[in-house]
Structure 1
Amino acid sequence: MGSSQSNETLEFLEKDGYYYWADFEKTPFAEGVSRYAYKGTFHGQGPSRGDRCVVKVFKQTYAKHITEWTTDIAASKRAQELAEQWNVYKSTTRPPRFRIPVIAKMDKLATFYALGFIPISQTSVIGVNEYVAIEDFITGDYEKFNSNSGWVNRNGHLFASAFSHYTWHKTNGRELVCDLQGVRKGDSYELTDPAVHSLNRLYGMTDLGQLGMDAFFYSHQCNELCYGLPLPAGHVRHAAWFGQRNTSYTFEL
């Protein structure tokens, strides 16, 4: 499984039912508060062979165990479930689709094919027994449409605000999908890394609970795609950190 890139993985089972392995670059092309993102390539016998991918790795100062990724995957899956319901509720020319990552474990000593990665000694970012995530690379101009603290891209993106509003309504005020980011294509919104606010704080470090929902509605301006959706009754709380463009985390508040 040689390659000109720096890091390689063992085989893992993708959502299309085929086994793949991936190689990815030594240097990240992007980073957030808690993670690095690396460009890579799928290899194997399935239809995704040769396609580009993204490998996401927690920074050293953050937990790198399966529980951290489990909530991320749950948020992506929940966002996709609600996107499918939105696509039935509101037939738009660009339906949203969320990328759902595959989780893999770093495993230097594996002697059999399993979910796992081979750590490369020249990088201190990735280590043995850590978990990383792989997802399809989204080509195109990457944009952020809203954040998880009430910031909204007002540059003509009616969809993001209306979709977030819809998810709150559809779940009877128990959840709200936000932090929408990705690429607006001709026939879809291809999205990644959503946040889901929930009353029970089920979705990890970007789930700000009821206060996160308040942040959304504090700045929300209904548009034509919101027609017929109710608003929260009563007073919406405000906090000083509302309206940040960057993703907010529970440990920062």
Structure 2
Amino acid sequence: MSHRRTNNSTQAEIVTSQIFASGTFKNVWAGHYTEGDRKGQPCVSKEFKTGSVYEKHYFDEELEIIRRTQEIVDNFHTASIISGRDIIVNTPAIWTYENSAGTKAGHKSLVEPMIENFEKFNSNTGWTGQDTVWNDAMQALSHFSYHDSGRRFLLCDLQGGLYSDGYILSDPVIMSQAHDCGPADLGNDGIKSFFERHRCGQFCDRNWVKPALTGRAPIPMRQGTTMECPPTRYDRNPLSRLREY
């Protein structure tokens, strides 16, 4: 079974007259697919608040985080940590606004299917959501990622949609020992801060590894995503079309 959710479409129409949602380092615009298997279904277009909207490598870094997330989620399923529920990764693609998009023409964005019932399960500094069995499962996924990767990675900042049969995750963060997984990768200090606040629930295995803990987190806890250089810029534009290239 595939644990990924993709566009399955090649064109969309995005309402750029107002921002649908805004996170720490991306703005989100809503729209719908106009060509492909998901024609008529809602989608979102995400753009970085800072950084080039033309240069592909900014977006490639994001897709590499998604690729690593997919590996972790697939391994989590293979290990049969939870039963009866599926964890799916919402997988964006890099699309480009068409020439008819006015000032957005040529801009790149990350397009993916819209998620309903959106909620946040944890942050990259160790904040966690409501104390429920399903939130426990998400905390276990984060802990598992550190153990399964041999302490190299920590999948966190988990958010997405909660459905009757599972979860759809979007915009995850990976923190790493190498400190090379994007602006929300807080490195070893981030990993240590996360685990100082982590409490194992029913899905964590007592044999899963943790970093050495001292009882003191180097980075303050917050619900939002913590970045080393928070961006501030955003643009607003009228209804525009974009296409996959």
Q: TM-score range by the shorter chain?
A: 0.7 to 0.9
Partner of 1:238: 217
When the two structures are superposed, what TM-score results if normalisation uses the length of structure 2?
0.82
Partner of 1:182: 160
Partner of 2:57: 67
Query: Separation in 2 of the partners of 1:167 and 1:93?
Result: 20
When the two structures are superposed, what TM-score results if normalisation uses the length of structure 1?
0.80
Secondary structure of the residue that 2:229 maps to in structure 1?
helix
Query: Separation in 2 of the partners of 1:245 and 1:228?
Result: 26
Query: Separation in 1 of the partners of 2:63 and 2:107?
Result: 16
Relative distance call for 1:135 and 1:36 in structure 2 (3 A) is same
Relative distance call for 1:242 and 1:154 in structure 2 (3 A) is farther
Partner of 1:168: 146
Matched residue pairs, number?
Answer: 220
Greater C-alpha radius of gyration: 1
Determine which structure has greater relative contact order: mean sequence separation of CA pairs < 8 Å that are 6+ residues apart, divided by chain length: 2
Identity of aligned residues (%): 26
**Farther-moved stretch of structure 1 (24-33 vs 162-171):** 24-33
| Residues 157-188 of structure 1: CA deviation (Å, up to 9, x unaligned) | 10111100000000000001000001110111
Letter in 2 for 1:199: Q
1:142 corresponds to 2:151: no
Query: Separation in 2 of the partners of 1:235 and 1:58?
Result: 34
Query: Separation in 2 of the partners of 1:198 and 1:96?
Result: 22
Partner of 1:37: 28
Query: Separation in 1 of the partners of 2:176 and 2:165?
Result: 30
Query: Separation in 2 of the partners of 1:130 and 1:207?
Result: 25
Which runs of 5 or more residues in structure 1 are unaligned? 1-13, 109-117, 122-126
Counterpart of 1:105 (choices 90, 96, 99) is: 96
Partner of 1:226: 204
Q: Give 1:1-12 correspondences, 5 Å limit.
A: none
Letter in 1 for 2:10: Y
Partner of 1:56: 46
CA apart distance, 1:54: 0.5
1:78 corresponds to 2:68: yes
Partner of 1:210: 188
Counterpart of 2:110 (choices 133, 153, 170) is: 133
Query: Separation in 2 of the partners of 1:168 and 1:234?
Result: 13
CA apart distance, 1:70: 1.3
Query: Separation in 2 of the partners of 1:53 and 1:167?
Result: 28
Partner of 1:92: 83
Which runs of 5 or more residues in structure 2 are unaligned? 231-245
Structure 1 contact 38–56 (Cα < 8 Å) conserved: yes
| Residues 176-231 of structure 1: CA deviation (Å, up to 9, x unaligned) | 10000011101111110000011122321111121121121010001110023334
CA apart distance, 1:142: 1.0
Query: Separation in 2 of the partners of 1:50 and 1:214?
Result: 44
Partner of 1:6: none
Query: Separation in 2 of the partners of 1:229 and 1:155?
Result: 23
